Each structure stands twice: as structure tokens, then as C-alpha cells.
A and B are shown apart, each in its own frame.
Chain A
Amino acid sequence: ETGVTQSPTHLIKTRGQQVTLRCSSQSGHNTVSWYQQALGQGPQFIFQYYREEENGRGNFPPRFSGLQFPNYSSELNVNALELDDSALYLCASSLGGPGVSSAGYTFGSGTRLTVV
């Protein structure tokens, strides 16, 4: 059983550019959540996708957007990058849906994004 894999592991972008981060969910998981973790802080919820639909969003502007594909892999897109977007971006997969009791996320190792 494979875990959650994220790519790339590190990325350097210039302010104003756009970036796409990718995530492959753990086998059997149908829900993916994205988190932003600034240095020395706890992860902050960006949004969650369940069966290709956005299932909730945190306090992030619309330039943060996502996609979930039929195979449950996912992308996080960030437009018009700002210096404060520099962070570790974490993808987490889980099994969700009606009738499913709460269960822990499985996190990937993250993508370290640096905006210069």
C-alpha cells in the first residue's frame, strides 16, 4: 500500500508567477485536503476535495485553487504568488463520505515553496 506522494519536493518561484503542486493520494482514499505550513507554525487548512468537488475552504484567497481527479490525485494551484506564500504545502488523504467515521489523515512529505 503506497502512502501519499507529493511533487515537486522543493520549488523556487518569483513573485507574480503561478505554481502547480501535485499530490497522489494513498490507495483507497477518496478525500484530499491541502494545508499550508509556515515555518514554525501548525498547518493551516486551505481546502478539501471529496469525489472531485470542493468540500470546504479555509481562509485563503481565490488565487488558491485546486482540482481532484477521478483517480483521487490532486493539484493545488496558486496564482500571482506573493512572498508570504513561501511555506511547506502539505497534501493529506483520508477516507471520507457519508457514514464514514472520523479517521486520521495520511500526510505527504510536502512541497517546500520559496517565493523570491
Chain B
Amino acid sequence: GENVEQHPSTLSVQEGDSAVIKCTYSDSASNYFPWYKQELGKGPQLIIDIRSNVGEKKDQRIAVTLNKTAKHFSLHITETQPEDSAVYFCAASRGTYKYIFGTGTRLKVLA
């Protein structure tokens, strides 16, 4: 069935360092790959997304790369700050239909 694997489950980095979270999806028809940040007691918040016709997208300190052949996509956060600490989820979908979420990565940025 459809599945998204996400690694690592926890990640600790020093403030100012980079963080990388990786996801692999199984449904080759997936064409939309959003990343969400979830803080304690809140719903997921979209931070960046990428569509299947693009290989890389950047928004300030955040970037996402997509390798359709390998069915891999990754989130890169540079110059991490304490406020980046949260749980991050990747997801894959066919357009606006259901998202298949990864299991989440708890990122801790150590000051």
C-alpha cells in the first residue's frame, strides 16, 4: 500500500548547524510533497512544498529537494535556531487528495 518513510525520528543539532530530514514514498503517482512543522499543542503548519515537476525549492533557510526516480525527498534547514525546534512531517499526495504522512522527526536545536 501507500507508504511514506521518514528518517531520522529524532535529530539534535547545535544552533547554527544544518538539519536534514529524509523521506521516501512508495506511490509513483504522487505529485505533491509538502512539509509541515508541528509545535506542541498545535496543528501542523505548512512550511514548504514541492511539486513533481521541480527538483529543488528554497525559501530563506529552508529548502526541499526531490528525486522522483528514487522516490526520495528531503528537507534542509540551514542556520538552525532554537525556534526551529518542533516535530516535522513530510507527506506525499496526488494533488489535493489525501496526504500520506511520514511518522515525523523531532528536531531539537541546542542553544
- A residues near B, CB below 8 A? 4, 31, 33, 35, 40-45, 48, 55-56, 58, 90, 94-96, 100-110
Q: Is B14 an interface residue (CB 8 A)?
A: no
Is there contact, CB below 8 Å, between A42 and B96? no
CA distance A104 to B89 in the complex (A): 13
Counting from the closest, the 6 A-B pairs by CB-CB distance are A42-B101, A107-B43, A102-B32, A45-B98, A104-B46, A96-B96
A105 touches B98 (CB 8 A): no
Q: State the Cβ distance, B64 to closest chain A Cβ, in Å.
A: 12
12 further A-B contacts with Cβ under 8 Å, apart from A41-B103, A44-B101, are: A31-B96, A35-B99, A40-B104, A42-B4, A43-B99, A43-B101, A45-B98, A90-B44, A102-B95, A102-B96, A107-B45, A110-B42
Query: What is the total number of residues of chain B having a CB less than 8 Å from a CB of chain A?
Result: 28
Q: B100, A45: Cβ atoms under 8 Å?
A: yes
Across the interface, do A56 and B97 meet the contact criterion of CB distance under 8 Å?
Answer: yes
List residues of chain A with CB within 8 A of the CB of B43: 4, 90, 107-110
Is there an interface contact between A101 and B95, defined as CB atoms closer than 8 Å?
yes
Among candidates A35, A104, A108, A110, residue contacting B49 with C-beta atoms closer than 8 Å: A104
Q: A41-B104, A109-B41 are known contacts. Are A102 and B98 too (CB-CB below 8 A)?
A: no
Most buried by A among B6, B49, B51, B97: B97
